[in-house]
Structure 1
């Protein structure tokens, strides 16, 4: 590690120590790969429940890789979403994780287009199809979020505009929230209803 990186790590450790509970202990763990001999450094946050008992096992709170900085993992959406929606979202998320924000913007626009199709939207273009979702009971905040994703994708395609990582992340999160409302919540309620029906049937059978 370089001197600057060591200082940054020391500052991070001190900040965590200053803001944590009295019985939280921080360790740094250095691991060396047997294959390539590269080093990795982890920050291990643990709690000793008894604090006075040196033989007590530590309870791991979090294990964080701090060197080298881990590559960002692509986002995922719920398996309750349609398979093609998940597939397109995954490709957009891969572009976002790689820092290809124009491609990510286009990809998230494609996710919205596929969701609109899945929801039975009508219209001659994506703007009209998204707008038509309101008449089908889709909440207005979701319609507005879909328009935001559409505009970001259009800007990338037609004007080559690259939004910041935070702006693309916001679009991804808006889509994730929409997926939760449109697909996850109905699926959860259907599973709960099926569980209740099975319970009633089991109770009737036992009597």
Structure 2
């Protein structure tokens, strides 16, 4: 059983470690030392819900309704484009980045959920792919595989969010903020283009 759990862990980490919109936001909030626990918990719980849903068989349902993924694709592309523009505007004023007004917990929660659930790749990776791989292990062992994938998600988001928070003193300079915002903006635009292109 440990080998199945380990396979789930490695699969979860392989899919989640690639820097995307969600990871970039977790990194930014960690550097800002702002609502880090809320962001980490929301990301990890969301992944767990999607992974367990895929393991329970929802992946087959998602595959049968491609129109739902199309709606998410266009909504996600619009949101990512808006976020990219916002990042570029923020990067154009580096002197104000260190003194940027704190965001409310509600705003951070909405952004975290949007970056998670408006990205169709999240469904393809967690619900369809991880769910399919988990179900190859049979009715009982599939949950062990899923538990490994969920563990990978919890470990990654905790390390990213709290690691960035621990290094925030080093990373808080205006130049670093500017670089982070430019990188995030470029990343968001690339993800938006990839979503539009399907």
TM-score calculated relative to the size of structure 1:
0.31
Query: Which structure is larger by alpha-carbon Rg, 1 or 2?
Result: 1
Higher strand fraction: Structure 1 or Structure 2? 1
Structure number with greater CO (CA < 8 Å, separation at least 6) is 2
TM-score calculated relative to the size of structure 2:
0.32
Higher helix fraction: Structure 1 or Structure 2? 2
